[in-house]
Structure 1
Amino acid sequence: MTANFDGLRFSHWKTELRGDGIVVLAFDREGASVNAFSQDALIELGDVIERLAIEPPKGLVIRSAKSSGFIAGADLTEFQEFDRRGTVNDAIRRGQSVFQKLADLPCPTVAAIHGFCMGGGTEIALACDYRVASGDPSTRIGLPEVKLGIFPGWGGSARLPRLIGAPAAMDLMLTGRTLSASAARNLGLVDKVVDKAVLEDAAVALVQSGTTRPFKQRLTGWLTNTWPARQLLAPQMVKQVSRKARKEHYPAPYALINAWKNAGGKGIQGRLDAERKAVVKLASTPTARNLVRIFFLTERLKGLGGKDHGIAHVHVIGAGVMGGDIAAWSAYKGFEVTLQDREQRFVDGALGRAQELFAKKVRDEGKRPAVAARLKGDLEGAGAAQADLVIEAIIENPEAKRELYQAVEPRMKPDALLTSNTSSIPLDELREHIARPAQFAGLHYFNPVAMMPLVEIVQHDRLDEATVKRLAAFCKALDKFPVPVAGTPGFLVNRVLFPYMLEAATAYAEGIPGAVIDKTAVKFGMPMGPIELIDTVGLDVAQGVGAELAPFLGLQVPAALSAVEPGKRGKKDGQGLYKWENGKAVKPPAPENYQAPADLEDRLILPLLNEAVACLHDGVVADADLLDAGVIFGTGFAPFRGGPIAHIQATGADALVERLRTLQGRYGDRFAPRPGWDMAVLRQPTQ
């Protein structure tokens, strides 16, 4: 007998009974372009599996009916709602139950994977007997839940260590990284990799004949999950995680290791129970709630521009660190790029750095020449006439920039866009004599370009909204997050960051050791300390930003940032506030028994929060969510805190104002509360 679905209609699942007795079950979530597990979809899947269990077919193949990919994971909008209602436990239990019913089916089961396979998509695949994946570059498999402050809760953490061995499984879950189909096969996560065209046929063949996993894989899966192995490996995993994430900031990796260590030797139900309890507890933490919110902020930023940018050729003027890296990244992402500077040696240096980027990013050596060919040196600037987008990245000098625009704009195509990578100069100062101001904007990247995900789209009152949308779409094509900002001095990120860096430099000038200042900021959750950051950005760049921002913000610049010695600009010279060796800062240790001032964290962080409030009050960005997104992705501001505004909401605006006033009385008016602390949004919950 084979399960009969005649007369049954499902909203999200399509069933096909083949002539050979194998059922093909296709996920096609109703009303959505992408498959993600809603509770409705899970309930329906449970009904299908129960019917299959009553009258088992010869086998079951699970695939996606959507061309966009396999399954993106759980519906996070629902997840947020379950958190608000306090029903996360029920949702986790339901997913575990349905996938366990799938695992218990008495017939062979195969997941046929093409495109993205994330989170719950990987977990349903793990509940199957076999997995076959297309070798298409779009196929990526992973369990990225740790990036949301939780870990796989529908059986992923219970099954994966047994399948591929604990070290590989835990590395995959602790980092949240994704795998290509071939990498997944090498680990044993996927049994077979085939062309997309024969994916279903290959899945059917696996149902019919099965496959035996290599003995070494099976042995590794058993040995690395024994009690002695867990007691030996778990502390090593904790040590590795602690190098990158503090337990009080990011509890999920530690909870995952602990659940595996204590329950990894139990039967499947014991492992599932331990997984569920830990994930439910994590879901209610501020870290998880903030990281889920940040996920939605990234989706919002991705949606600002759409796809229609109309840009094929990019011309970059200025082959310094920023201009050269912007050009290289644009070429890497598929654009034709010409790079101009006043001397060939600057262009050559940038082209050399570009080759290093391509060597890192393009692993297939055979494809590197084609990528490199998209980037061409252009000493004479002929590319400006063919370009759809011109990016100016010369020195932070308004007169020099205006002279350049007057020379280059007449040569540009009528519909081409002209942009500046200025980091702080108001666009009202730069647009004088520009013939087409509606097509002129700021496109402010952050250093290092290859790593920093944010680009500020700097606006002015004569800018066309269509230009903003084209630039946002261009940023999306570069895999960058665009945030539209007002063209006031410092825009958003530098305006918020400058008081923080300035106070750090002031504390340093007072004699507080740089290593102590940096350690305090990192303990708060910043990705690096502000003294190291000043050296990384460059003392010369900090000086230029300071000259623009200090008068605007009414702040005094300490000598370390107002007079920069030649050859001592920071990391790029090997010497700045710190000495640099092999790309790393050599930080002199603090004197023995040195105690950091009790108010040092407040001195560093409160100026940043203070200016964030002022930016929101002044309308530098449209709303609090965009401000938090911009500061997180532009500065690395502690993601687990949700951004400056979310942190203010969680801590209490009134309490922070009192702390500012205390610092004002102690150190002066630079700590005076800025306008905006009475805004209602600061007293709203973030969730």
Structure 2
Amino acid sequence: MTTRFGSHDHWQIEHDVHDIVWLNCDRKGESSNSLSREVITELGEILSIIETIEPAGLVIGSAKPGSFILGADIREFDEFDDADAVSDLIRQGHEVFARLENLSCHTVAAIHGFALGGGLELALCCDYIVALNVPETRVGFPEVKLGIFPGLGGTTRITERVGGLAGMQLMLTTRNLRAPAARGMGVIDELVDEFSSLHWAARRAVMQKRRKRKASLSASATNRQPVRALVAKVLRKKTAEKANPAHYPAPFQMIDLWEEHRDNRRRMFDGEAQRVGQLMVGDTARNLRRLFFLTERMKGLGKGEDFKVRRVHVVGAGVMGGDIAAWCVLQGMEVTLQDRELKFIEPALKRARSLFKRRLKKRPAVEVAVSRLLPDVAGDGVPRADVIIEAIYEDADAKRALYAQMEPHMAEHAVLATNTSALPLEELARELAAPERLIGLHFFNPVAKMPLVEVVHGEQTADSWIKRGCAFCSQINRFPLPTKSAPGFLVNRVLAPYLMEAFTLMLEGIDKETIDAAAIRFGMPMGPIELADVVGLDVCMKVAETLASGDVDAQRALLQKKLDAGHLGKKSGEGFYLWTKGRSNRQSVDVDSPYGDQIATRLMTPFLDECRSASADGIVADDDLLDAGIVFGTGFAPFLGGPMHYLEQQEADFR
């Protein structure tokens, strides 16, 4: 765009009659804004002119309708192999941001939509931040998820603005704050309710020279010694409960930097550039970026299909069916939930209300959600539903009988899906009038936490229905993974030999805590014995019946003993572990030894072998999607980039 400021590809500039410069990011050729090297370079050129003309004020906003700035352009991260080169580039960004921070005129950031990572770091350079108070406005620092930490001054400026403890927690948790929460914390200074008001609020802030609130004395004290050292110790301990520093060094590097240098701004910026540069070229960050791009690919599988889901009908109000229904309600849909009698639906309604309270917080929002979840013993919701999900018990005859009742009443456009975890779609679809319509939507437990849904297709399934299934998954904020109908599909097929090997180790006399600790040390989010409790030992028994290998009789006997005692795992309060308020009584044990490595090797060998086998059988389209499915379906060590990628790297290292 050509103005008195010259021609720029990525910024729109207006200098109004009140001597305010309005600078709106509008990255060329992109639907949303991100901070590429070109965008930052152009910003520096524009700041040079502003430094010369010294206007009354500068307002930085976005010309994109959906967001402010999403952060740095992650696509550029893989261009570098040299840490020093990355650090030099970060220092150049620091220089541009410092010039914005030090302008003689008053500066305001006007945020609508997402302001994440580098976008928030840019806003923090301004004297004042005003934001549009809508659900789409979110602010936060997601960098730790990518194996780095904020690299454009965020570690310094956010801890200055809100205090050390609150600022570090925001970066460590990678939480995206809604506008009111950000205002309450002090990240945002002012909220407006109308988009048109954003412009006038920014103008008023310039004219009145409004400035950010200072952190309270108690918040500021957490940035100073000796309090800072105590806070850092607590943060390290809490972070280590969730992440192994050997696998995920970024959060620990950030805590170290803050503890060592927070009382010196120059050393903070220098340390940020050096440490983020080193992290950026490390294996963990490379592998986490790989997974990020794979998630973008899976999101893309649900786009481009003109299929808008407003109503969902779920048959089967057990744990899985009820939780699927509740999750769809949380995503704004109206859901009818069917079972044989109301008494079977009532526990699901109770669980749903608890979920709504945890997620929505405020009573009016909770009540609105409750009103969208309707018990439906008669199945009256079938004709109106866009998606029908069958989640009854695993019996092919019962499922076919149910489809025979529903199919004549379904809308022509409606998806018919089963949540079966084992039965072949070809067997379930054989009596349907339109067998090409049936797909699998295989959710994982717990539904509200597991981000993957296998979109299962049989030989008879038409591509159009697979695409609709993927579109539905995207609309409920889940990653769709198109998967062939085969025993265990992908995730359960790979988990089965892993769980069975863990049971075999127990039968050999190895303590369950030791087995779980070895898996966690390898990089799994939880061990296989605890995972079996979470999945449900009754479900594990079905897996043992259909997918088990090794000493199957002994494995089944081990499970049957638990089932006979009524110990189903987490859902019954006891399995291999005791469960209280959703937490097991598993004790941590030290397996940092060759013995621990041997156990991990025993566990992971059948897991990885089955990944190879699934790849050879073409269960999903390619190894990249296999990696994504296994990471998000089983929790396989994200820092390794996926099992097939890990095997490839191991083979390369061996050569």
TM-score by length of 1: 0.91
Q: Check if 1:286 corresponds to 2:295.
A: no
Q: Hey, what's the Cα distance between the residues in 2 that align with 1:524 and 1:270? A: 35
> CA offsets, 1:449-496, max 9 Å, x none?
111110000011221111111111110110100000110000000001
> CA offsets, 1:15-61, max 9 Å, x none?
11110111111111011110001111111110000111122111100
Task: Determine if contact 1:34/1:66 at 8 Å carries over to the other structure.
Answer: yes
2:204 maps to which residue? 205
Residue 422 of structure 1 is aligned with which of 402, 420, 433?
420
Task: Determine if contact 1:405/1:434 at 8 Å carries over to the other structure.
Answer: yes
Q: Give the CA deviation at 1:84.
A: 7.6
2:92 maps to which residue? 94
Q: Hey, what's the Cα distance between the residues in 1 that align with 2:221 and 2:574? A: 50
1:8 maps to which residue? 6
Any stretches of 5+ residues in structure 2 without a counterpart? none
Residue 527 of structure 2 is aligned with which of 526, 529, 534?
529
Residue 333 of structure 2 is aligned with which of 332, 335, 352?
335
Amino acid at match of 1:304: L
Amino acid at match of 1:111: A
2:600 maps to which residue? 601
Q: Give the CA deviation at 1:614.
A: 0.7
Q: Hey, what's the Cα distance between the residues in 1 that align with 2:188 and 2:138? A: 11
2:297 maps to which residue? 300
Q: Give the CA deviation at 1:584.
A: 2.6
1:616 maps to which residue? 615
Per the alignment, in what secondary structure is the counterpart of residue 336 of structure 2?
strand
Matches within 5 A, 1:121-520: 121-195=119-193, 196-211=195-210, 217=215, 219-220=217-218, 222-267=220-265, 269-306=266-303, 308-520=306-518
Q: Give the CA deviation at 1:134.
A: 1.1
Deviates more, 1:16-25 or 1:408-417: 408-417
Q: Hey, what's the Cα distance between the residues in 1 that align with 2:135 and 2:590? A: 53
Q: Hey, what's the Cα distance between the residues in 1 that align with 2:493 and 2:168? A: 40
Amino acid at match of 1:283: M
Q: Give the CA deviation at 1:593.
A: 14
Deviates more, 1:162-171 or 1:401-410: 401-410
The 1:183/1:588 distance shift into structure 2, 3 A limit, reads: closer
Task: Determine if contact 2:309/2:475 at 8 Å carries over to the other structure.
Answer: no
The 1:42/1:582 distance shift into structure 2, 3 A limit, reads: closer
> CA offsets, 1:143-176, max 9 Å, x none?
1111111000011112111111100100011111
Any stretches of 5+ residues in structure 1 without a counterpart? 656-682
Deviates more, 1:640-649 or 1:167-176: 640-649
Q: Hey, what's the Cα distance between the residues in 2 that align with 1:44 and 1:589? A: 52
Q: Hey, what's the Cα distance between the residues in 1 that align with 2:88 and 2:274? A: 11
2:644 maps to which residue? 645
Q: Hey, what's the Cα distance between the residues in 1 that align with 2:631 and 2:599? A: 22
> CA offsets, 1:99-148, max 9 Å, x none?
11111211111111111000110011111111111111111011111111
Deviates more, 1:242-251 or 1:90-99: 90-99
Per the alignment, in what secondary structure is the counterpart of residue 450 of structure 1?
coil
Q: Give the CA deviation at 1:187.
A: 1.8
Q: Give the CA deviation at 1:244.
A: 1.2
The 1:538/1:160 distance shift into structure 2, 3 A limit, reads: same
Per the alignment, in what secondary structure is the counterpart of residue 26 of structure 1?
strand
Task: Determine if contact 1:571/1:580 at 8 Å carries over to the other structure.
Answer: yes
> CA offsets, 1:601-655, max 9 Å, x none?
1111111111011111110011111011111111111111111112112222796
1:583 maps to which residue? 582
Q: Give the CA deviation at 1:182.
A: 1.8
Deviates more, 1:291-300 or 1:227-236: 227-236
Q: Give the CA deviation at 1:592.
A: 13
TM-score by length of 2: 0.95
Q: Give the CA deviation at 1:586.
A: 2.9
Q: Give the CA deviation at 1:369.
A: 2.2
The 1:212/1:125 distance shift into structure 2, 3 A limit, reads: closer
Deviates more, 1:487-496 or 1:375-384: 375-384
Q: Hey, what's the Cα distance between the residues in 1 that align with 2:376 and 2:574? A: 32
Amino acid at match of 1:77: R
Task: Determine if contact 2:5/2:49 at 8 Å carries over to the other structure.
Answer: no
The 1:556/1:296 distance shift into structure 2, 3 A limit, reads: farther
Percent identical pairs in the alignment equals: 46
Q: Give the CA deviation at 1:298.
A: 1.0
Amino acid at match of 1:625: D
Q: Give the CA deviation at 1:7.
A: 6.7
> CA offsets, 1:426-464, max 9 Å, x none?
212221111111111100000011111100000112211
Q: Hey, what's the Cα distance between the residues in 1 that align with 2:592 and 2:238? A: 28
Amino acid at match of 1:440: L
Per the alignment, in what secondary structure is the counterpart of residue 599 of structure 1?
helix
Q: Give the CA deviation at 1:234.
A: 1.6
Q: Hey, what's the Cα distance between the residues in 2 that align with 1:650 and 1:575? A: 40
Q: Give the CA deviation at 1:367.
A: 2.2
Q: Give the CA deviation at 1:265.
A: 1.0
Residue 114 of structure 1 is aligned with which of 112, 115, 135?
112
Amino acid at match of 1:28: D
Task: Determine if contact 1:311/1:474 at 8 Å carries over to the other structure.
Answer: yes
Q: Give the CA deviation at 1:554.
A: 10
Q: Hey, what's the Cα distance between the residues in 1 that align with 2:615 and 2:149? A: 34
Q: Give the CA deviation at 1:556.
A: 6.3
Deviates more, 1:621-630 or 1:644-653: 644-653
1:668 maps to which residue? none
2:568 maps to which residue? 569
Task: Determine if contact 1:387/1:416 at 8 Å carries over to the other structure.
Answer: yes
Task: Determine if contact 1:425/1:548 at 8 Å carries over to the other structure.
Answer: no
The 1:381/1:221 distance shift into structure 2, 3 A limit, reads: closer
Deviates more, 1:385-394 or 1:159-168: 385-394
Q: Hey, what's the Cα distance between the residues in 2 that align with 1:110 and 1:304? A: 39
Q: Give the CA deviation at 1:498.
A: 0.7
Amino acid at match of 2:606: P
Deviates more, 1:446-455 or 1:94-103: 94-103
Q: Give the CA deviation at 1:66.
A: 0.9
Q: Give the CA deviation at 1:91.
A: 2.5
Per the alignment, in what secondary structure is the counterpart of residue 25 of structure 1?
strand
Q: Hey, what's the Cα distance between the residues in 2 that align with 1:649 and 1:5? A: 52
Amino acid at match of 2:269: L
Task: Determine if contact 1:151/1:173 at 8 Å carries over to the other structure.
Answer: yes
The 1:351/1:192 distance shift into structure 2, 3 A limit, reads: same
1:82 maps to which residue? 80
Q: Hey, what's the Cα distance between the residues in 1 that align with 2:151 and 2:331? A: 35
Amino acid at match of 1:535: D
Q: Give the CA deviation at 1:595.
A: 9.5
The size of the alignment, in residue pairs, is 650
Q: Hey, what's the Cα distance between the residues in 2 that align with 1:175 and 1:202? A: 31
Q: Give the CA deviation at 1:386.
A: 2.4
Per the alignment, in what secondary structure is the counterpart of residue 425 of structure 1?
coil
Amino acid at match of 1:290: N
The 1:593/1:27 distance shift into structure 2, 3 A limit, reads: closer
Q: Give the CA deviation at 1:98.
A: 1.0
Deviates more, 1:580-589 or 1:514-523: 580-589
Q: Give the CA deviation at 1:227.
A: 3.4
